[in-house]
Homo-oligomer: A and B are copies of this chain.
Amino acid sequence: MDLYEYQASERFRAAGMRTNQGVVAETPEAARAAAEQIGGPVIVKAQVHTGGRGKAGGVKLAASPAEARDRAGAILGMEIKGLRVRKVLVAPAEDIVSEAYAGVLVDREAQCAVMMVSAEGGVDIEEVAARDPGAIHKVRVDPRYGLLAHQARFLAGRLYSDKALARQGAKAIAQLYDAFVESGASMAEINPLVVNGAGEVVALDAKMSIDDNELFRLPEIEAMRDAGAEEPASRQARAAGLSFVKLSGAVGCCVNGAGLAMATMDLVKYYGGEPANFLDIGGSSSPDKVVAALEIITTDPDVKAILFNIFGGITRCDDVAKGIVEATSRVGLEVPLVIRLTGTNEALAKDILAEAGFQFASSMDDVVEKAVNLASA
């Protein structure tokens, strides 16, 4: 789950960090009031779950409350990388002396958190990494010890030669790590981390992705979820514990397991079709999940045929069969359904489905080919 800048910034502040604290506004008028409350020139920043908002015109300076209102009016409702802007953050304009980058993420290879800094901040850090890898300094954080004081000092020393700034930088870096851990994040970033005119190190932006697996124990972060920004189908899928991604094709796919689901989508394409979605009902599925999955898929008007490709392991085929029978009896299916089931409790499942009048495909290739043909019929 991604946090908005203002939310990530709040987590940073909770860890003691100096941030560019502002006020969230959802209307131009609220932005005007916020600017008035703050006083002096402000910056109006689009709150969206994507990068590159600056280039897209989503960040604007405003010298007065009236200008803040106009800027917010222009930004609210704009689309950045396909996402509509519904909120802006109005924050005091900082006097910027230098811009750096600081970030932390879980590194697969090192199997631990890795903290990174670069004196080249305020720009796309992936471009910096590609152009000049030596400009990015990293330390691995041993999970048994956490970020150690000398590691934070080392990183800060790569950003600032001035002793007082290096001390502030080390503090900000340690606070970034604390916020990362306390928020159950998989990534946290400050870009740019600036030195302002007063010689203070300030986080001018804030980005954070939360590990969804942490949310069960972090209700205060779960509460930050902006359900209004989600597609209804995604919201419904999440509530049902399904992994779902909406795509643009006509073949609805219901599969157990992410790898098999992706391989099924690839096969839909192989046979000349286009998948309507990625949907993984997960392991250990109950009939309820299957019912929810069918409801979500059938809500999509583009779907012309639906396929089930289930290989039972921890998932039991009879649970899936019960779900199919229950869902179709309840909602009434308007598009054709082709089913492939094999593995754990396969025989039981076939009995249940045969009794309800369903037919089976013989293999994964068979079920995909049939679904593609039905969707294009």
Cβ of A216 < 8 Å from any Cβ of B? Answer: no
Cβ of A150 < 8 Å from any Cβ of B? Answer: no
Residue of B at shortest CB range from A144? B144
Which residues of chain B have C-beta atoms less than 8 A from A145's C-beta?
144
Minimum Cβ distance to chain B for residue A236 (Å): 34
Tell me, in angstroms, the Cα distance from A144 to B144 when the chains sit together: 5
Residues of A123-147 at the interface with B, using a CB-CB cut-off of 8 Å, are: 144-145
Give the dominant DSSP class at A's interface: loop
Which residues of chain B have C-beta atoms less than 8 A from A144's C-beta?
144-145
Tell me, in angstroms, the Cα distance from A145 to B145 when the chains sit together: 8
Tell me, in angstroms, the Cα distance from A68 to B145 when the chains sit together: 50
Tell me, in angstroms, the Cα distance from A144 to B141 when the chains sit together: 13
Minimum Cβ distance to chain B for residue A16 (Å): 15
Residues of A88-147 at the interface with B, using a CB-CB cut-off of 8 Å, are: 144-145
Tell me, in angstroms, the Cα distance from A144 to B145 when the chains sit together: 6
Tell me, in angstroms, the Cα distance from A183 to B93 when the chains sit together: 41
Minimum Cβ distance to chain B for residue A150 (Å): 17
Minimum Cβ distance to chain B for residue A12 (Å): 23
Tell me, in angstroms, the Cα distance from A144 to B148 when the chains sit together: 13
Minimum Cβ distance to chain B for residue A111 (Å): 15
Minimum Cβ distance to chain B for residue A131 (Å): 38
Minimum Cβ distance to chain B for residue A49 (Å): 34
Residue of B at shortest CB range from A146? B144
Minimum Cβ distance to chain B for residue A137 (Å): 25
Interface string of A250-278 (1 = CB under 8 A from B): 00000000000000000000000000000
Minimum Cβ distance to chain B for residue A151 (Å): 16
Minimum Cβ distance to chain B for residue A152 (Å): 17
Tell me, in angstroms, the Cα distance from A145 to B144 when the chains sit together: 6
Residues of A53-100 at the interface with B, using a CB-CB cut-off of 8 Å, are: none
Minimum Cβ distance to chain B for residue A353 (Å): 41
Tell me, in angstroms, the Cα distance from A249 to B144 when the chains sit together: 51
Minimum Cβ distance to chain B for residue A346 (Å): 37
Residues of A305-359 at the interface with B, using a CB-CB cut-off of 8 Å, are: none
Minimum Cβ distance to chain B for residue A156 (Å): 21
Residue of B at shortest CB range from A142? B144
Complex A-B, nearest 2 residue pairs according to Cβ-Cβ distance, in ascending order: A144-B144, A144-B145
Q: 2 A–B contact pairs at CB < 8 A? A: A144-B144, A144-B145
